[in-house]
Each structure stands twice: as structure tokens, then as C-alpha cells.
Amino acid sequence: MGIMSAQEAELYPAAPLLAPLSSLPLPEEKRKRLAQAVEGDRLIDLLFHMPERYQDRRASLPQEGDVATLEVRVLSVQPPRSPTQPWSVCCESPAGLLDLIYFGRRSWLGAWLGRTYPEGAVRRVSGRMKRFRDRWQMEAPDFVSPPDDIPEIQPIWPLVRGLGQRDVGRAMAEVCGALPDLPEWQDRNLLARRRWPAFGEALRALQMPDEPPPEAPRERLAYDELLAGQLAVGLVRRTVLHRPGRALIGSGLLREAALKAFGFPPTAAQERALAEIDADLAAPRRMLRLLQGDVGAGKTLVAVLAMLRAVEGGAQAALMAPTELLARQHLRTLEKLAGAARVPCALLAGSVKGKARRQVLEGLARGDLPLVVGTHALIEEGVAFHDLGLVVVDEQHRFGVAQRLALAEKGTTDVLVMTATPIPRTLLLTQWGDMAVSRLEGRPAGRQPIVTRIISRERRAELTARLRAAFAAGHRAYWVVRAVEEGERHDNAAAETTFAELAALFGDKVRLAHGAQKLEVREAALQDFASGRAQLLVATTVVEVGVDVPDATIMIIEQAERFGLAALHQLRGRVGRGPAQSFCLLLPSAELNESEQRRLAVLRDTQDGFVIADADLDHRGGGDALGLRQAGRLGRRIADPQRHGGMIRMAHQDAALLLEKDPELRATPRGRAARMLLALFGHDLTLAPLAAG
């Protein structure tokens, strides 16, 4: 083994959990599916993949309609009496005679049943029970195994297509069986007072339980997650605010030219946000501010005007977006507004190569290029600025904390982060600590409210007729579905299938966009839609942010009840971006439960994203209240603001106290252990050394 780096050495006890999923003894395809399900590629990501529920498979006497687990003795295997009849395995059970029923005419079924149920064998079977005449029946048992092979308390994990509960269970058993003992990062008095188990013990209790898990293990891990988030936010604040800044004061001439090109005056909310940002820019300390706005509230205009203020103050400004699609959208806005003020701007992304890339890099280094918008390419080692004074980070939740800071470290910079997702006030502390917040409410001038309707699936034919009329009038429409391919649930609308159906009706007017496509294919489809070469875009949630097509006036969302309210609100915000009346049409599945009906009614009855975000928190319990899966960065995999909300402020105060005593998380045993906590929850440890600067 070679010499370890300092970071590898300090994380050595946690190294087994930071290992890749590829270290598991699973087929390559299963590992890919597992990584997709757990939204990560580390063993700890698997351990943080929490069960949705637990199935009690302890041996029990059956009740009609219930799932029961029984130990049975096989008497015989009976083939079907006719092609429409099932195979039947006759067994003795504690409840009397039991028939295990298998439908199917495949040639291998009889041989498989003979091997699985040899006469006289004892098996433990688990499944739903029903009575037929004077006997019990269990159709296609969920589990069949020798008596000791079925877990009595079985976790039920969220899955993706091609991955089964047994696949996850085997992988989980492999990792749980080798959990290392880690130094404790929590306060010992807190652990004793709350009666919380150790980290590894909590994971085992939830992922490989011997009995229905109590609340303490989940509480412990939820607090770990909250504390990690608060430590990460605290490090950002210390890094930015504890370093000297400079005053950026402008004449306002560049802004004036940009606003003239924009065509509308800023709203009152935009004016307030700009005043707060200007005060921060003019102060001799570094700015760290969150610009929080609803869909269509005009965050981009505020960001561009802030960037122009930095240029007026003699500095450069950069805007970082998580995808090239969104970066190019921002570039078009910059070209229009900054171009009117005769301020050069450019794009730096993965697709910018060769001479074009070299020209951008040289312009940034010389200072000839005052404004740049880009993706992660902006934080690469070879990118140098002449005098970077302001960094704007859009869709901040899609970046790791270190990525947000890496760009800010390329100059003496102020930092403005933006989110298009309205965050309930109860969650602001969870994500941002006591960061300064500017909140945009209302809509820019010239935009009408969007009419939202809940439409029965039986009226789908009417929708196609409505689309024909809209296309004839020059309008465009989105048709959004949840999945790329047909899923395991037979009614799961799929992008590929829906595209084929609509292309048969509308021909070359239809394009398809989803995340599984190659970037150039998806970009081409989006560009065709934006330019008008196509009038209907069938898409997944890749269009949720960063797509601005003013002529798009209809948003159709299939199986709307399966989206979070916040995600539905973001999708609705893709229309209503021009002067024409726009419509959002929700097509739920055939049968809605009462909770789903209430959720969709909230979207129908209000367009206030902050009201919707609060309702989403109430309805969904905060598990995905922002409508996003954030893969262990500042999102929540374990903590639930409704169940664990009382711990948010406690974690905030705990993190502040720990950082006050140990700013670099190196001087104390608890601080050093907390660096492992940050790594486990996906926060980059390069943050901690920066805090000392």
C-alpha cells in the first residue's frame, strides 16, 4: 500500500464506506441499477437508501387478505387440469391445508416447481392469503426458502426497473456485515440524553432489523444529516465572510442601457432585492446572499443587473449553472442585456473547445472579457480571471458546497446564489443557516396568470384537437411524462411510447427530450422546439428549469399525482412566459386517492410558489419537499422536517459552537470525527482548510 495523502489518512476509518459500489460482488448491470436507485456510487450511499416501510414476515396464522408467513411441508405438485388452470403446490401448514398457486404455461415452470418444492421438503413461504372453498390459498408467494432464509422483518426499499428487493438486500447485508467502528462526532451528553445508538448500530437497526425499528436509530441518523448540512453551510459562511472583501460601486449607466433593452421596469420586489445586493456589494466585506424567487419572478434579471454593477465597479463577474442547457439560456439573456450596454460576454462549457475555448480563457485572464456564464468548466484548474469580483451560482442545490466555493476562490469575490424553487420558511434554516436572503414575490409585467385545470384521461382525444388548434395559431406545447421507458407499473406513461403516439398524429411537429439521450440529441430537440421548427415537445422533467420559450402556451402533465407539488409548479412555469394566455392541464391516473386529489387542487387553486412549497411540505412530510433529489449534498435523505423539525435549530447551534471551538475541524477529536461526517454525507473536505483563511 502506498503512502496516504493527509486527507486519506484522516478519513482512513471511514474508507470502507467511501469505497465505490463497484467493490460489491454483483454483476455489472445490477451495480448500475443499484447506483441509480441509491442516487450515488459509494457504499455509504447504499446505506443511506432508507426503506419505505417494513414487512413483518414473522410466522403467523393467516387472516383473509393479509400477508402471512408460514412454515409448510410439501405434499405434492399438481399440474393444471386445463390450459386455463394454474399449477398447485399442496402443503400442510399450521392453518391447515394450503395451496400455493402459480399461473403460467411456460415449459420450464413445472420443472422449476419440482426443484423448488420436492415432496416432503419444509419451506417457509410468505404472501397474501385468501380462502377458496374449504382451503387456504397463496398465489405466487413473495418468498420461498428453507425455514431460516427469509428475514422476519423485511425492509422494503425504493427500487428502479431491473432491480429487486433481494438484490438490494444482498448488497445491504454485504455492507452492513463489514461496518467499521467510527469515532463519535456527536456530543456524548446528547447521545445519552436522547438514548441514540452509535452510527453503525443505527444503520444496522434500520437496514438489517431483527425487530420493527424504534424511532431512535432514524432520529440519530437524521440529526447526523442535519449537523453535516449545518457544518457545510457554516464553513461556506466562514470562508466567504471571514475573508476581506472590497467595495463594488457603480455609476448605473450599464444597468440603464440593459433595462432599456429589457423593455420593462423592474418590479417592486426586484428593486428591493437589487437594493439589498447593492448594499452588500458596496460594503468592504464579502457578500453571501441567497436570491430566492418563485417561477417567473425575474431572478435572472436581478442577477444580470448585479453582474453589471460589478463591471461598473471595475471587476469581472461569472454565472455558473449546473447544465449547459441552462447556461446557454442565461447566455442569451446576457447577450441581449449586457450587449445593449456594450459589455462583452461569453460561454465556457464542455462543448466549447479548441480556438473558441482558448479565446475565452485568454479574455478572462487579460480582463478583456468582463462577463462569463458557464458550467463546472468555470472551476477547472486552468481557468484564471484577471479580477473576479462577483460569482452568481444558479440552481445552487445541484452543486456540491466545494464547487460553489471553488469559483469564488478565483478572486476577491462576492457570492450570490439563486434558487428557482420556493423554499418554505421552515426549511431555510436547514439549507442555509443564517445566510442573508432576498425573496422575490410576484410576476414581471406583461405576463398573465396561468389557467390550471385537472382533466380526466378520458378526455385525451379532446386534448389532441385542442393542440391542433393551438399549433394552427402558432403556439407551442409541452407534453410531460414521468418515465423514459415503460416501467413495472403497467399504467406508467413513458416518454418513448407517448412520443410515438403523438408523432403518429402530428408528424414532424413533435420532438422528444429526456435525460437518457446524448446531450447533442437532447439539445437539438430543445433547439428545434425553441426555434419553432417543432411545436410539441414530449419530455421528462429535463424541462423543469432553464427552458424559456415565450410561444409555448400549453403544458400537459400526465400522471400528475406522481410528481411533487413543487416539481409541478416548476413545470407549469415553462409556460406563461409571453403575453398570451397559457394553460397547464393535469392528467392524473384513473383512480386518485383523497390525498392526491387535495394536492392537485392546491396547484389548481394557487400560483404562489411559496404557498405551494408549504403545502408540499405538509402533504409529503418534507421527504422531497423541494421536488428534487439532492443526492446527499444539502438535500435530505433521512431527515424529515415534520418528524425531525425540532432538531434543525439544535443542529444549527451545535455546528456554530463546534466551528467556533475548532474552525478547521482538526484541533479536537470531535472536530476530526466531524470531517468524516462531512465526507459520508457528500460534503467536500477541501472546505475546512479554507475556513482558516
Query: What is the number of H-type helices and E-type strands within the chain?
Result: 26, 21
Q: Is the pLDDT of residue 483 over 70?
A: no
Bridge-based pairing of strands 476-480 and 536-539 is parallel
Q: Average pLDDT, stretch 368-379? A: 92
Q: Give domain status of residue 619, yes or no.
A: no
For 143-193, the pLDDT digits (tens) are 888 866 667 888 989 888 788 888 999 999 999 999 999 999 999 999 999
For residues 635 and 400, give the distance between their C-alpha atoms in angstroms, rounded to a whole number.
Answer: 10
The answer on 495 and 568 residing in a single domain is yes
Per cent of the chain over pLDDT 90 is 45
Nearest to 72 by CA among 118, 112, 116, 124: 124
Q: Check whether residue 318 and residue 169 sit in a common domain.
A: no
CATH number at residue 112: 2.40.50.140
> Is 124 domain-assigned?
yes
Domain boundary among 194, 213, 232: 213
Question: Do residue 48 and residue 63 come from a single domain?
Answer: no
pLDDT at 334 over 90: yes
Q: Which residue, 124, 145, 166, sits at the end of a domain?
A: 145
- Looking at residue 150, what is its pLDDT? 67
pLDDT at 302: 95
Q: Is residue 676 part of a domain?
A: no
Same-domain status, 189 and 42: yes
Domain count, the chain: 4
Do 365 and 376 lie in one domain? The reply is yes
575: containing domain:
451-606
Q: Please give the single-letter amino acid code of residue 493.
A: A
Q: Are residues 173 and 266 in the same domain?
A: no
In-domain check, residue 379: yes
Q: Which pLDDT band holds residue 52 (cuts at 50, 70, 90)?
A: confident
Rounded CA separation 158/50 (Å)? 8
| pLDDT at residue 633 in the model | 33
What is the secondary structure of 119-133 as a DSSP string?
Answer: TT-EEEEEEEEEEET
Cα dihedral: 525, 527, 529, 530 (round 10): 160
Q: Is the pLDDT assigned to residue 485 strictly greater than 60?
A: no
Tell me, yes or no, whether 267 and 335 share the same domain: yes
Distance CA 157, CA 153 (A): 13
Amino acid sitting at position 568 = L
- What is the DSSP track for 322-382? SSHHHHHHHHHHHHHHHHHTT--EEEESTT--HHHHHHHHHHHHHT---EEEESGGGGSTT
CATH of the domain at 593: 3.40.50.300
Greatest Cα pair distance, the chain, in angstroms, is: 92
Please give the helix or strand (H or E) that residue 18 lies within, else none: helix 15-18
Say whether both 578 and 502 belong to one domain: yes
My answer on whether 505 and 579 are in the same domain is: yes
Beta carbons of 674 and 663 less than 8 angstroms apart: no
Please name which of 288, 223, 375 lies closest in space to residue 681, comparing C-alpha atoms. 223
Q: What's the burial of 165, exposed, middle or buried (CB within 10 Å: 0-12/13-18/19+)?
A: middle
Pairing of strands 316-320, 143-145: unpaired
Domain shared by 576 and 529, yes or no: yes
Q: Find the helix or strand (DSSP H, E) in which 49 lies.
A: none
Q: Does residue 81 lie within any of the structural domains?
A: yes
620 within domain boundaries: no
The H or E element that residue 601 is part of is helix 594-605
If asked whether residues 265 and 347 sit together in one domain, one would say yes
Q: Which pLDDT belongs to residue 489? A: 39
Would the pLDDT of 422 be above 70?
Answer: no
**End of a domain among 386, 412, 440?**
440
- Please give the Cα distance from 688 to 684 (Å, whole number): 9
Does residue 392 fall inside a structural domain?
yes
Beta bridge partners of 20: 42
Q: Is 282 found in the same domain as 393?
A: yes
